Structure 1
Amino acid sequence: MDARTWMKELDKGTVRPLYICYGPEKYRMREFIDYVFRKCVPDDLREFAVTKYDLSETSLDDVLEDALTMPFMAERKVILASNAAFLTGAKESTKVEHRPERLLDYMKSPADFSVVILTVDADKLDERKKIVKLLKDNGSMAPFVPLSADDLLQWVKRQADAFSFRLGTGAAEALLLSAGTDLQALRSELEKLSLYAGSGGTVSVEDVDGMVARTTEQDVFMLIDHIVRLRKEKAMTVFHELLLKKEEPIKIAALMTRQFRMLLQVKELERQGYSQQQMASQLGGHPYGIKIASEQGKRFSFEQLASILASLADLDYGMKTGRVEKTLGMELFILKLAV
């Protein structure tokens, strides 16, 4: 099961008695939970019809007892219980005892006036457990994972539409290069851009470059993108901006090494037939970052990437031992690559 299917069901008026949410993408999880609230409980009754529990402090028995109690003033209530660690393989650190089998008993005859949402702070659940297998089979659980590269671009554009402005050609891609792939950070930047553009306005690539604050990691990501696209003037500009931010050339070189290593790993996994989503899981990156790494890596052969990594290792050694002047060494390295 996946969250999109759940949301389509909710749009059609189908509400499940139990939703179990887990996975690394917490922003999407919060979006879904808010969607359940909106679909199931009128805004003016939210205070009476939404109850929140922490399962590290409250037993599952108490949560289910609440689910069997009629709602006050509302036709339906929503119960949100976080930290359902008993569904994972991790050893529970809480003294609260849970009886997971009670959840299966409840699902045999759930209250039609209650919606129970359990959240799990884990990327995976323990599918060796009988309860996890059964709840998975009946569609009660879904992972919240990072959006694919294409879905992330569409998400950015939908958010811009929601803020009543549009992103010009290349602006969505420029935003992702500058702000990264964290959905909460992206939404904040989109809100800021909406205030700049005004209702019905358009944001260009230049607007994004001028208004979106980049982290050091994103600066280095963009630096390498300029190098790959042979834009040496822009690459040098980004490097000097990093120096103005008091970033050490040794740190910049280390971040460049990490990114070029990613290019080499992606190229190798592509050769083995991995999809971008599979590579993201294997390398611990975001699918959009994998997509960009794949595009960047097309300019280089395996041998060239290995040579670049070796050169970065030599540069790092030279800077740390004082044999190479740090700023000049980095400048020469960038100019050598961007030709």
Structure 2
Amino acid sequence: MDVKKAWKDIQAGRTAPVYLCYGPEKYRMREFIQHVSDHLIEPEHREFAVSKFDLGETSLSAVLEDAETLPFMVPKKFIIATNAIFFTGARDTSKVEHDLERLIDYLKSPAEHSVIIFTVDAEKLDERKKVVKSLKEKEAVIPFLSLSSEELQSWVVKQAQKLDFTFASGAADQLILYTGGNLQVLSAELEKISLYIGSGGVATEAVIDQLVARSTEQNVFILIEDIVNLRLDRAFVILEELLKQREEPIKIAALIARQFRIMLQVKELGKQGYSQQQMASQIGLHPYAVKIAEGQAKKYEANKLSVILARLADLDYQMKSGRIDKVLGLEMFLLQLAA
């Protein structure tokens, strides 16, 4: 069941006794849980109504016992149980034993006064497990997968509308690029932009450039984007900024190599007919990063990307062995790349 249907059912009074939320998009998962909590529990009841458990430290039986215990001074209980690794195929390294049969029995006759939400940070569940099948039959499984590049852009624009501002052409894409598509970071940056430009304002690329902080990884990502599009002045400005921040040239070269490796992977997977979403899952990246890498990869043949990676490996060796000045070697590589 998708999150929209689950939320509509809850608003209509059709709340399931148990939900299993999984996926890498933790921001949207937390947002959903907060909405459910706000809808089901009155503010004055939260102290006694809401319980939180970490299943890496607490047994499943203890969670179910809490759910079965009658609520104290409140009409309903809301129980959040995190790190439910036992729903996946991953090895559970905790020393806590979980009786999954106990949960299967509970699902047959759940407590009417409790709602349990299990969460697990995983892209897939182990659908061979009886307990997962039981939850799917109850339509209690809700995936929170990474948004596609189109969904992400739509999300950013809608959030801006809620904050009463709009984006100039290209500014929304720039914001996503600078934040790597992380919804938690995007949400914070959108709030900051809203406060800066005010109600009814327009966020331009200059405003994004001025306000939004970028990690080293994102700066390298943008540096390569500038090189690919022959914006050499901007690329060298970013390199200079990274060096002023005392970033190690060897680390910068390694991040550049990582991006070109991603470009080569995306190119090869594209030939095999993979979609951007499938590529993202295969490589372990956000779909928006795959979209950018796919655009960058179109500027190079696969053999050219292999040559560039070989050059970077050689540059890494020369830097580490002291055969070349690190900064000079990095600058020469970027000039050769642009040429």
The answer to whether the superposition gives a TM-score over 0.5 is yes
Counterpart of 1:132 in structure 2 is 132
Could you tell me how far 1:329 is from its partner in structure 2? 2.6
Give the distance between the partners of 1:8 and 1:275, measured in 2 at CA.
30
Aligned to 1:66: 66
Identify the residue that residue 77 of structure 2 maps to in structure 1: 77
Please report how far the alpha carbon of residue 90 of structure 1 lies from its aligned counterpart in structure 2 after TM superposition: 4.5
Of the structure 1 ranges 100-109 and 290-299, higher mean CA displacement relative to structure 2 is found in 100-109
Aligned to 2:49: 49
C-alpha root-mean-square deviation of aligned residues, in Å? 2.1
Which has the higher mean CA deviation after the structures are superposed, 225-234 or 64-73? 64-73
Match of 1:253 in 2: 253
Instruction: Give the aligned partner of residue 18 of structure 2.
Output: 18
Residue 74 of structure 1, CA deviation: 4.4
State the 1:70 CA deviation.
Answer: 4.1
For structure 2, the 5+ residue unaligned runs are none
User: Structure 1 residues 315 and 58 mapped into 2: Cα distance closer, same or farther (>3 Å)?
Assistant: closer
**1:148-193 deviations in Å (ceiling 9; x for gaps):** 1111112222222233322221111111221222222222222221
The question of 1:326 aligning with 2:326 is answered: yes
TM-score (norm 2): 0.92
**CA distance in 2 between partners of 1:139 and 1:292 (Å):** 35
Question: Could you tell which deviates more after superposition, 229-238 or 8-17?
Answer: 8-17
Deviates more, 1:74-83 or 1:13-22: 74-83
In the superposition, the TM-score normalised over structure 1's length comes to: 0.92
> CA offsets per residue over residues 132-151 of structure 1, 9 Å max, x none?
22222322222322211111
Residue 7 of structure 1 is matched in structure 2 by: 7
Corresponding letter in the other structure for 1:62:
A
Equivalent position of 1:106 in the other structure = 106
3-state SS in 2 of match to 1:147: coil
Letter in 2 for 1:291: K
Q: CA deviation at 1:301?
A: 1.3
Q: CA deviation at 1:111?
A: 3.0
State the percentage of identical aligned residues: 56
1:214 aligns to 2:214 (yes or no): yes
Aligned to 1:196: 196
Do residues 302 (structure 1) and 294 (structure 2) align? no
User: Separation in 2 of the partners of 1:140 and 1:263?
Assistant: 38
- TM-superposed CA distance for 1:238, in Å, is 0.9
Amino acid at match of 1:36: V
Query: Relative to structure 1, is the Cα distance of residues 60 and 212 closer, same or farther in structure 2, using a 3 angstrom cutoff?
Result: same
**CA–CA distance in structure 2, aligned partners of residues 29 and 70 of structure 1:** 27
Deviation at 1:93, TM superposition (A): 4.8
SS in 2 for 1:254: helix
The separation in 2 between residues aligned to 1:310 and 1:92, in whole angstroms, is: 39
Q: 1:42 offset after TM fit, Å?
A: 2.3
Distance 1:114 1:200, change over 3 A: same
Unaligned runs of 5+ in 1: none
- Give the length in aligned residue pairs: 339
Residues 299-318 of structure 1, C-alpha deviation per residue, up to 9 Å, x if partnerless?
11112212222222232233
